Chains A and B, each alone.
Chain A
Amino acid sequence: GAVVSQHPSRVICKSGTSVKIECRSLDFQATTMFWYRQFPKKSLMLMATSNEGSKATYEQGVEKDKFLINHASLTLSTLTVTSAHPEDSSFYICSADSGKGAYEQYFGPGTRLTVT
């Protein structure tokens, strides 16, 4: 149990275009989902926390208009990188919290975004 999927696993897009990354909890309902960004050989940087049916809470320094997060259902959250630039190239990882006292977060396999 507690499986989180991400799609796509890898995406290449041109500078100026937008790309959407999906995060799904496959066998549980996720009241809260998190989006992280990981730079090479670095730790995870929390970008935002999304709660189903409400606006995401962004961490300081993360542009909410650039990184659009939607948590439309208890099993799906999406991250849209708008007007992507090469500096947005990174490994994006989502996680989900079932909110049922398990405490740990369950992580997706990550999405490698390359902006050319």
Chain B
Amino acid sequence: AQSVAQPEDQVNVAEGNPLTVKCTYSVSGNPYLFWYVQYPNRGLQFLLKYITGDNLVKGSYGFEAEFNKSQTSFHLKKPSALVSDSALYFCAVRDESGAGSYQLTFGKGTKLSVIP
């Protein structure tokens, strides 16, 4: 079974500072990894994904994430946080060996608050 852990319920960062939202995963096969962002009372917006290739993945709104196979991590990062980045962030994984199943497993989410 696949699983995702987001160890922090909340991350607070000052505007202009770098931010990191942590994610670790567990799958039996090769992982497909995703980050989504959710604003209040809204659906999820896709930020970025790792399927294969370079370990550093760049996505929307200046976000990037680094795939680390040995540490089974896929932390989300941004060099300079904006107040508008304040939202709920979800890490998700799909097992490439899932026999055709496209199911995503989500972490519990991390609330990011960027302080002006």
* A-B contacts at CB below 8 angstroms, number: 51
Question: With contacts A32-B102, A46-B103, A99-B102 known, is A104 near B49, CB below 8 A?
Answer: yes
A43 touches B43 (CB 8 A): no
Against B, the Cβ 8 Å flags (1 = close, 0 = not) of A35-76 are 000000011101001000000000000000000000000000
Contacting pair A110 B43 (CB below 8 A): yes
Q: Chain A's nearest CB lies how many Å from the CB of B88?
A: 9
CB-CB under 8 A from B106, the residues of chain A are: 43-44
Q: How far is the CA of A108 from the CA of B45 in the complex (A)?
A: 9
In the complex formed, the residue of B with least CB distance to A49 is B103
On chain A, the number of residues with a Cβ less than 8 Å from chain B's Cβ atoms is: 23
| Cα separation A103 to B30 with both chains bound (whole Å) | 13
Given the complex of chains A and B, what is the CA–CA distance between A106 and B43 in angstroms?
Answer: 9
Q: How many residues of B contact A (CB 8 A)?
A: 21
A77: CB under 8 A from chain B?
no
A interface: dominant SS: strand
Is B41 in contact with A42, judged by CB distance below 8 angstroms?
Answer: no
Q: A6 to B44, alpha carbons, bound, how many Å?
A: 13
- Nearest chain B CB to A4 CB, angstrom units: 8
Judge whether A103 and B43 touch: CB under 8 Å.
no
Q: Are B43 and A42 in contact (CB under 8 A)?
A: no
Q: How far is the CB of B11 from chain A (nearest CB, A)?
A: 15
| Beta-carbon contact of A107 and B36 below 8 Å | yes
B42, B46, B90: which contacts A104 (Cβ < 8 A)? B46
- A109 interface hit (Cβ, 8 Å): yes
B→A interface (CB under 8 Å): 32, 34, 36, 41-46, 49, 51, 90, 94, 101-104, 106-109
Given A4-B43, A103-B49, 5 more pairs with CB closer than 8 A: A34-B102, A43-B107, A43-B109, A103-B94, A105-B102
Q: Which residues of chain A have a CB within 8 Å of any CB of chain B?
A: 4, 6, 32, 34, 42-44, 46, 49, 91, 93, 95, 97, 99, 103-110, 112
